[in-house]
Amino acid sequence: MREKETIAVEVDDLTVRYGRKTALEGVTLRVARGEVYALLGRNGSGKTSLVRCLLGHRLPGGGAARLFGRDAWADRKRLMARVGVVPEDPDAAPETTPRRLIRLSRRLYPGWKGASIDKRLERFRVPLDVPFGRLSKGQKGQLMLALALAPEPDLLILDDPTLGLDALARQSLYDELIGELADRGTTVFITTHDLEGIEGIADRVGILGDARLVADEPLEQLKQRYRRLRLAGHTPDPEQLRRSTNGLGVVSVTSGGLGSEIVVSRYDDDAMSAARQHEALSGAEVVSMSLSDIFISLLGNDGDASPGVSQ
């Protein structure tokens, strides 16, 4: 732990292209030491491309990715001693047992904590002598997490770790993040499609859309800004509603037989009080929005709206 380090992850104007396809365009973000940062986005939004740059697996086409102030590509070998990784798809030779994987991993990390990994695997009922290929998806995920945590890394990077897990396995993984890493002050960078689960633990969220970062701020601040305004029965003209709520940052207006609904992105009590002076908004109900609601408002809700694996 270096006292002078306050930023664990820095991404500056990062661009990644695959031929003519742009995966990331000018992405900039910071993750402070000890934060849990959740990166969200639809399928193909560039989440995994960003993770590959952070791990030094891919040289960006432009910009830079740094961990603890060092270039992730140029200083990969030195940096990986301080980073634990849980990949999207847990992978190991099918015939290799967890016991052998532990022995192999122990040689790579001088700060290896053998007792902690044994206790964790016992707690989550991961057998040490069953070949990796015969473990369940949840057991493989817990094994990867245990291997990543055993060296007590300064930074833990998880690429969609709950994909394919059942509700119990997902909850146990989040319990690990909350129970152990928060106390230790470990920084967590996680990409995920599990908006409901991450809402309970993320300090800050970033949302990727069309290869760019469309949101990047503390989660609670984001949720304070976004509100849904509901008008029952009467359905004013959508343009009239937009004009009435102009100071609130209108994201969308929908009207139907039962009334109208407005999503705003700059909600505060004073602006809402001013909006209520307009007859159309006088009876509006103000409704809080979940992270999932905000995500859909930003990126849409068509057939590919749910965030997931990206390349």
pTM of the full predicted structure?
Answer: 0.88
Residue 31 contacts residue 8 (beta carbons within 8 Å): yes
Q: Is the pLDDT of residue 2 over 60?
A: no
Q: Give how many domains the chain has, as a whole number.
A: 2
Clarify whether residues 38 and 121 are in a common domain.
yes
Distance CA 213, CA 211 (A): 7
Q: Which of 94, 89, 95 is nearest to 165 (CA)?
A: 89
Per-residue pLDDT, 306: 37
Clarify whether residues 129 and 41 are in a common domain.
yes
Clarify whether residues 169 and 247 are in a common domain.
no
Distance CA 197, CA 177 (A): 11
Whether 303 is in a domain gets the answer no
Cα-flanking dihedrals φ and ψ of residue 241, to 5°? -65, -40
- What's the full length of the chain, in residues? 311
Stretch 54-70: mean pLDDT:
96
Long-range contacts of 212-215 (CB under 8 A, 24+ apart): 212/24, 212/25, 212/26, 212/27, 213/27, 213/28, 213/29, 214/298, 214/299, 215/294, 215/298
Going 71 to 73 to 79 to 83, the CA torsion angle's sign is positive
Q: How confident is the model at residue 234 (pLDDT cuts 50, 70, 90)?
A: low
Q: Which two tokens stand for residue 96?
A: 């290799």
What is the chain's mean pLDDT, rounded? 86
Distance CA 122, CA 44 (A): 36
CATH code, 121: 3.40.50.300
Domain containing 233: what range? 227-288
Q: Which two tokens stand for residue 3?
A: 């006292």
DSSP state of 309: -
